Structure 1
Amino acid sequence: MRKTFLLLSFVLLGACVHFASAQAKKQPLIVFVTGDHEYSGEFTLPLIAAELEKNYGFRTKVLKAYPNQNAEKNIPGLEALQEADLAVFYLRWRQLPPDQLEYIEKYLKSAKPVMGFRTTTHAFNFPKGDASERWNAFGEFALNAPPGWGGKAAHTHYGHESSTDVSVIEAAKKHPILTGVAPSFHVRSWLYRVLPDYPTKGSEWLLMGKAVNPDKAAIENPVAWTGTNSYGAKIFTTTMGHPEDFQVEAFQRLIINAIHWELSKPVPKKWKGKIDINVPYRGMVK
């Protein structure tokens, strides 16, 4: 009898472990792809990932440029995108090899949701005539943002000494992503200019930014928007993302909300509390 009881116990324990493992695998997988030279996305986004796992039940994986943020031609582990339910990019002027670009292209073609931070509007910077030059327009075809930096899109900013006042756009205030987000807040990011031609037609603007102490005549510009990209995928894009922005509770909540929305999950009505993020701005360091 005792042996039978023990055997039954082991069988039930095994079944519970298998069930728990199966349940965990059902949770969406978010893959963060980082490599941005300047803004320490490889340090801020892992803290967001940890929060998502601890308090919101998601699975996450963070990929980083190797051997450091300045390595423009190698982000190991991009095959993880094959299993991803959401891809979050924080890139700047990469020149990835074709085999790595292929993983990103396959993900985009799957029409799964995409999220991009700040310099991801100019994620790639291949030389003119390069076989991969079309990737320089990643911002446009993946994130409804300007196709690269400068040029005809006039995609520029208002000086490193400036910062940005952010406010909720009245027409968008009921959007789920803005649940619990303060109607106005301040971030250290110097404002990016994306107007007049971007975000692309059909995008929904969520937040407007006003440059504080700009180095040139400034206009207000959207700093966060949603939409459908050229692959038919849901997107969320923000031109914010300075490491000090991640200290701002309204910005933290915006990100957590946006990730839930991208994955078609209910946006949390109850905020779990401010995330402890204290990553210094390093600038461009060789």
Structure 2
Amino acid sequence: MYVKKSHFIHSVICCLLAFTLLSNTAWSQNKKPAFRVLAMAEKDGGIHAPFVAAAKTWLQKLAAEENFTLDYIENTEPINDAFLATYQVFIQLNYPPYMWTDTAKAAFEKYIREGKGGGWVGFHHATLLGEFDGYPMWPWFSEFMGGIRYKNYIPGFAKATVHVEAKAHPVLKGIPPTFEVEKEEWYTYNKNPRPNVKVLATVDESTYEPDSDIKMGGDHPVIWSNERMKARNIYIFMGHHPDLFQNEAFQTIFRNAIRWASGRKETALR
């Protein structure tokens, strides 16, 4: 009789554990996403294909951890007011500030200027401002980025040290005062964006390895935010080489940027 009771109790406990596991799994699968993220990257990634591939793998993992949905587009054709309104974060992962439809331009300007829909995280190629591939420069986007125009870059890449300037900014939470980037092109511009934006970090041109004469002259912003716009926005220059996803500082900045841009306090404070 004692043995039968033991077996019975054991069976009940096993059933309860199984039910609990199934319930938790179903709950996690049906849990409402905290926010929605849209990422835009050129079809096939172009010369940035390895970076985009690494970013997609990393973002997919982050989306599961942070409980957000993630959609991709390869051009600006889908973009209009209604489309952008469904997303709380827009990541310009690898797409230049040209080849945009007029409708997409108007919708994006409104999204950033009014700040009603969500936030923006832009990388690298987003400051390729000028006349490229037969397209004119987008004046509003140039002003958004601090009134700059692309001038030059280091085609052979250079290792360099980045200095954190705005240590209290949420995007730089947990980042050391300096960190190294192994391979980057380090764009230069026709002028410094600093007077028109909030500079969060700069690259130390004296640390270029190998050295280069393609420099901004000492003050070289590489992460900034245009606080004149109502939408949370941040531009992160680094974004060419897939090795960045082996860089703990870069990963933390990217993660923090998504949390901050989403505007969800409970997410940003994790």
Asked if TM exceeds 0.5, the reply is: yes
* Map of 1:107 onto structure 2: 111
Distance verdict in 2 for CA 1:140–1:34, change over 3 Å: farther
Aligned pair 1:83/2:81, yes or no? no
For this pair of structures, how many residues does the alignment match?
229
* Map of 2:187 onto structure 1: 192
* Map of 1:30 onto structure 2: 37
Distance verdict in 2 for CA 1:100–1:184, change over 3 Å: closer
1:63-85 deviation per Cα after TM superposition (whole angstroms, max 9, x unaligned): 124xxxxxxxxx45435423111
Instruction: Map 1:26-175 onto structure 2 (within 5 A).
Output: 27-35=34-42, 37-40=46-49, 42-65=52-75, 75-78=76-79, 80-89=83-92, 90-92=94-96, 94-111=98-115, 112-122=118-128, 125=131, 133=136, 135=138, 137-141=140-144, 143-144=145-146, 146=148, 148-150=149-151, 156-157=152-153, 159-169=154-164, 171-175=165-169
What SS class does the counterpart of residue 46 from structure 2 fall into? Answer: coil
Measured on the aligned residues, the alpha-carbon RMSD in Å equals 3.3
User: Which stretch shifts more, 179-188 or 82-91?
Assistant: 179-188
- In the alignment, is the contact (CA less than 8 A) between 1:161 and 1:213 conserved in 2? no
Q: Greater share of helix residues, 1 or 2?
A: 2
1:9-49 deviation per Cα after TM superposition (whole angstroms, max 9, x unaligned): xxxxxxxx89985x515x21111111263222542432243
- In the alignment, is the contact (CA less than 8 A) between 2:97 and 2:141 conserved in 1? no
- In the alignment, is the contact (CA less than 8 A) between 1:85 and 1:263 conserved in 2? yes
What SS class does the counterpart of residue 39 from structure 1 fall into? Answer: helix
Give the letter aligned to residue 177 of structure 1: V
1:115-145 deviation per Cα after TM superposition (whole angstroms, max 9, x unaligned): 11011112674788x8xx462552432x436
Distance verdict in 2 for CA 1:186–1:197, change over 3 Å: closer
* Map of 1:274 onto structure 2: none
* Map of 1:176 onto structure 2: 170
Distance verdict in 2 for CA 1:39–1:233, change over 3 Å: same
What SS class does the counterpart of residue 197 from structure 1 fall into? Answer: coil
Structure 1 alignment gaps of length 5 or more: 1-16, 66-74, 151-155, 270-286
CA deviation after TM superposition for structure 1 residue 95, in Å: 1.9
User: Which stretch shifts more, 56-65 or 119-128?
Assistant: 119-128
What SS class does the counterpart of residue 37 from structure 2 fall into? Answer: strand
1:82-124 deviation per Cα after TM superposition (whole angstroms, max 9, x unaligned): 3111111121263233344444344334423221101111267
Taking only the aligned residue pairs, the percentage that are identical comes to: 17
- In the alignment, is the contact (CA less than 8 A) between 2:163 and 2:204 conserved in 1? no
TM-score by length of 2: 0.70
Distance 2:200 2:190 in 1: 12
Distance 2:166 2:97 in 1: 32
* Map of 2:232 onto structure 1: 234
Distance 1:106 1:48 in 2: 29
Instruction: Map 1:253-268 onto structure 2 (within 5 A).
Output: 253-264=252-263, 265=265, 266-267=267-268
CA deviation after TM superposition for structure 1 residue 262, in Å: 1.8
Give the letter aligned to residue 175 of structure 1: H
Distance 2:189 2:129 in 1: 15
* Map of 1:283 onto structure 2: none
Give the letter aligned to residue 57 of structure 1: N
Higher Cα Rg: structure 1 or 2?
2
1:212 to 202, 209, 214: 209
Give the letter aligned to residue 24 of structure 1: K
User: Which stretch shifts more, 210-219 or 237-246?
Assistant: 210-219
Distance verdict in 2 for CA 1:76–1:227, change over 3 Å: closer
Distance verdict in 2 for CA 1:165–1:19, change over 3 Å: closer
Distance verdict in 2 for CA 1:91–1:173, change over 3 Å: same
